[in-house]
Structure 1
Amino acid sequence: MKLNKNITGIKTRFFYDKVDKEYKDLVDGKYGTLKLIPNKELLVCLGKKSELNNEKLRKLGSSIYNSLKDAEKSVIIKTPLKDEENYFLMEGLLLSTYEFNKYKSEKKKAKLIEFYLDYKNAEKDFKKLSIIVKNVFIVRDLINEPPSVINPKTFADIAKKLGKELKITVIGKKELEKKGAGGIIAVGQGARHEPRLLKLEYTPLKKKEHIAIVGKGVTFDSGGYNLKPTGYIEDMKMDMGGAATTLSIMLAASELKVKKNLIAYIPLVENMVSSTSYYPGDIIKMANGKTVEIANTDAEGRMILSDALFFAQKEKPELILDFATLTGAVITALGHNITAVVTNKDELYSDIFKVSKNTGEKVWQLPLYEEHEESVKGELADFKNLGWAKGAAGTITAAALLKQFVNDTPWMHFDIAGTAYSYENKDYFKKGGTGTMVRTVLEWINSK
């Protein structure tokens, strides 16, 4: 989508809840009502001014795009909104342009290819949003690709291709063995493609202080010997959503020239069933020397994350963020619209919560008490990779194991299992990968 102030095309007319007399037969003034008068103008209702917010404006931008994408080549949008409100309208419009049709024999393209949103900072905002949205779309693309296409090797290759401005180190299986990364090795040992750990560095500042970001990269999760059943296994190509999110945050930060040092760690594995897969009941020695008993091979994400978190904290970051499609329990707790956050520093959550209200990517903090940490203590090993029976507090007990590997480093865990994938076309999302948390984390890092 291009921004072009010199275009001619269909124009828009906006109304709050009171509609001009000549248009009352066409629209009612209620928020979200749109009416296209072919080859002339698009009528858009904002509803009550006092009830407008950032997310409503994003959704309205999405509605404008979806109303015109198959009908018009260009649109000129002039609103009664403030500049900062127009930003969110533009954001929703751009987020709605996503398509993933590379495997379709007939590729239908949108007719709408250019627009102009008429306000003071339009060109500046468009430049910034284009970078952010492009990287949100990278997450969506990576999640939507078939698991036969995205595996530990190809993900690493894509990261190197896209991350020309980053320092990228690929740590292979032999080096992981030397580093004692038992969690990563165990989960990946049954697969055709060997496990890897990516280290990505964006360090524009000379000082050593940095934020560490860790992303779970299970490019396909069969569950291992605790095999996932039909109805659950089909979408498990999306279990690398945390890795894709981490990669895109790093790519966008470098392109936006964020003034913050960032170092990311992405463990990449396939969790498969074979004669060499790890077993339920195995005891795995982790990179920090602690041991973990495998209560369930389908609780694999916390195994690879734990090693990566240990490597991250060794470099003494000021804080660690991790992103993972970690637990089905988070969907039971919060549904598909809210990302769970677990942290060892409550003030970190307060900051991210404020930013999320601005970006529309909802988050909610879950508690982490001593009882949760006790639940992952093992009898035959130091820890076990499941907490209480029957999945009780499953999202929290999974985070409780991760906490054992960050020591005292400030840390915030995002369980995106419910929000990384959309099961319907809605607003500015298409069915498939969402790219959730990229926009929120970029804004939050910029505010630090």
Structure 2
Amino acid sequence: MKISCRKKTAFNSRKEAIIIPVYKNIETLKTLTGKRIDDEIASIISSDYFNFEDKEIKSFYIEVKKKLKRIFLVSIPKDPEDSRFYLELGARFSKIVRQDRLTSFSIISFEDLYMEKKELSYTKSFIEGLFFGLYKYERYKGKKENFNFEEVEVITAFTRLKKYVDTEAENWNTAFENIYMARDLINTPAMDLTPEIFAGFIKEHESENFSVEVLDDKQIVERGLNLVKTVGMGSANPPRFVTIDYKGDPTTEKHVALVGKGVTFDSGGTNLKPTGSIETMKTDMSGAATVFAVAKLIRDVGMKINVKTYIPLVENTIGGCAYRPGDVLTSAEGKTIEVLNTDAEGRLILADALYTARLTDPEVIVDVATLTGACVVALGSHCAGLFSNRKFLAKNITDISDDLGEDIWELPMLKAYEKRIKSDIADLRNISKQKGEAGSTIAALFLKEFVDNWPWIHLDIAGPAYLEEEHPIFGKHASGFGVRLIYTFLEKYYKEQH
């Protein structure tokens, strides 16, 4: 999608339609629209046709240079809202774009109406909401939609806003290319995204400063990644372990580590999931898709940062070779784990990956996983759970999430619960025997055992990664949640300044 910015009036727009934001008791937009359009707007908003309801969108036609031009009026509050408002407004307008098959439009920037010269995020958030709403997954459709939106033109009187859009617009496009990639991966059925296929897809994106190593099942055993091997050994599709090394700043060895849970299908193993829970388990690799998209986005925009990404890929299925409740496993670190439930497999493969990540002394480790149903029970499907062993990390990423409309909530890792993951016959057990209590916290405490004391963030995205009901920003099914969040967090706090 092309994003351009012009310092002109809406009257001179050559796009199919023009979006003009208005608020109640607005006086005039003449300097932005031109007198003809401004007079028509004054007539419309003083009639019963437009009511200034929340995010109301109404259209009319006006003759401009002997052609009918469609004008959309959108209702905004007189005082600026947070970014979520504009994200939701953009997502709502995307439905009109698709329904009416608009290929381009101009929009008068929200910043021009608010005269807020310091804040530049409103129009960007609207465009991001539009991006989220325009996503479609048609791989298995016999009849494709056969429609593509082409261009947004931002109209502004602010030189600073124009410079911002001109500088950043290509990065917004790149971000959503990678978000769409993540959503495609999450939406893909497990039969077409086995560990081998997924690893091969990642390998295809290798480049000079973006090296990809794929370990097959034999190499996984040789490297001592026993938990990855064990979780995957019940399936006819053997596991893979992917490491991506992005060198964006070769002048330093400092780097960050990303870890993503990649269970390409989770049957629950011997502790088989019931009907009602198993149908969407193709999405249990959402963490892997998210961190791969973040790493690739960082590469694509050329961010000056070094990132190592670790992606264990397995199918957790029933089979003659599948592991069982009661088995005792030895992790790559050497800690032994009593398996009480084979459906608590994500934390096992993450344990080996987190240990591997910490060996290279990263500045911070961020792991992403659809880890626990308990997190959905606690926070619902719109909010991810956040755990961290550093308060400042939790605050920093939470502040960013508010700005992006990607909701996270910090949950506790209570020291008193640590004894619940201690086993009588091994070092650890993979679940607590206190049924139904603090499932997300127990999982995080288990992971913490393999992070040691490295700065660490754990995001449990079991709720927002895949949405059964429509979200006001992310729509339905695979959401792409977390890509913007982690990218922005790393850009703000870990990018080298040169």
TM-score after normalising by structure 1? 0.96
1:78 corresponds to 2:108: yes
Match of residue 56, structure 2, among 33, 50, 58: 33
Provide closer, same or farther for how the CA distance between residues 150 and 52 of structure 1 changes in structure 2, counting only shifts above 3 A.
Answer: same
SS at match of 1:425: strand
How many residues in Structure 1 have an aligned counterpart in Structure 2?
A: 448
The one-character-per-residue Cα deviations of 1:30-82 (angstroms, maximum 9, x if unpaired) are 22100122663343333322252211011111222221223233211113425
Question: Is the Cα–Cα contact under 8 Å of residues 4 and 166 in structure 2 kept in the other structure?
Answer: no
SS at match of 2:96: helix
- Contact conserved, 2:372 with 2:462, CA < 8 A, in 1? yes
Question: Cα 1:397–1:426, aligned 2, differ >3 Å: closer, same or farther?
Answer: closer
Q: Pick from 201, 218, 226 the counterpart of residue 158 of structure 1.
A: 201
CA RMSD, Structure 1 to Structure 2 (Å):
1.7
Specify the code of the residue in structure 2 equivalent to 1:169: E
Cross-structure match for 1:352: 397
Q: For 1:109-147, what per-residue CA distance to the aligned partner results, in whole angstroms no more than 9, with x for missing partners?
A: 336433312241333332111011111111110010111
Structure 1 partner of 2:419: 374
Q: d(CA) in 2 for partners of 1:437 and 1:304?
A: 20
| In structure 1, C-alpha distance between the alignment counterparts of 2:408 and 2:103, rounded to whole Å | 37
User: 1:134 pairs with 172, 177, 185, which one?
Assistant: 177
Find the aligned partners of 1:50 and 1:78 in 2 and give their Cα distance: 17
Equivalent residue letter for 2:276: G
Q: Which amino acid aligns with 2:186?
A: I
Determine if contact 1:285/1:292 at 8 Å carries over to the other structure. Answer: yes
Question: Is the partner of 1:281 in helix, strand or coil?
Answer: coil
**Superposed counterparts of 1:151-300, under 5 Å:** 151-164=194-207, 165-205=209-249, 206-300=251-345
Quote the residue 2:38 is aligned against: none
2:21 touches 2:76 (CA, 8 Å); kept in 1?
A: no
Q: 2:17·2:72 contact (CA, 8 Å) conserved in 1?
A: no
Cα distance in 1 between the residues matched to 2:223 and 2:109: 58
Structure 1: 5+ residue stretches without partners: none
1:321–1:412 contact (8 Å) kept in structure 2: yes
Partner Cα separation in structure 1 for residue 181 and residue 426 of structure 2: 40
| Residue identity opposite 1:432 in structure 2 | H
Aligned to 1:53: 82
Q: Which residue of 1 aligns with 2:133?
A: 96
Amino acid at match of 1:12: I
Shift of 1:25: 2.0
Q: Is the 8 A contact 2:57 2:75 kept in 1?
A: no
The structure with the larger Rg is 2
1:4 Cα deviation from its structure 2 partner: 5.5
Spell out, residue by residue over 1:426-446, the C-alpha distance to the aligned partner (whole angstroms, 9 max, x if none).
333232111111101111111
TM-score, with structure 2 as normaliser: 0.87
Pick aligned residue for 2:17 from 6, 10, 19: 10
Opposite residue 37 of structure 1, the aligned amino acid is F
* Structure 1 position 108 matched with structure 2 position 145: yes
Q: Partners of 1:60 and 1:252 in 2: how far apart?
A: 25
Q: Secondary structure at the match of 1:389?
A: coil
Q: Which amino acid aligns with 1:157?
A: G
Q: Separation in 1 of the partners of 2:170 and 2:486?
A: 18
Deviations 1:292-321 (A, max 9, x none): 000000000000000000000111111111
Identity among equivalent positions (%) equals 34
CA contact (8 A) 2:203 2:214 kept: no
* Cα distance in 1 between the residues matched to 2:357 and 2:110: 48
**Change beyond 3 A, Cα 1:391–1:42:** farther
CA contact (8 A) 1:34 1:42 kept: no
Q: Distance in 1 between matches of 2:450 and 2:429?
A: 13
List alignment gaps of at least 5 residues for structure 2: 6-12, 27-41, 62-67, 113-119, 157-161, 494-498
Preserved CA contact (<8 Å) 1:27 1:43 = no
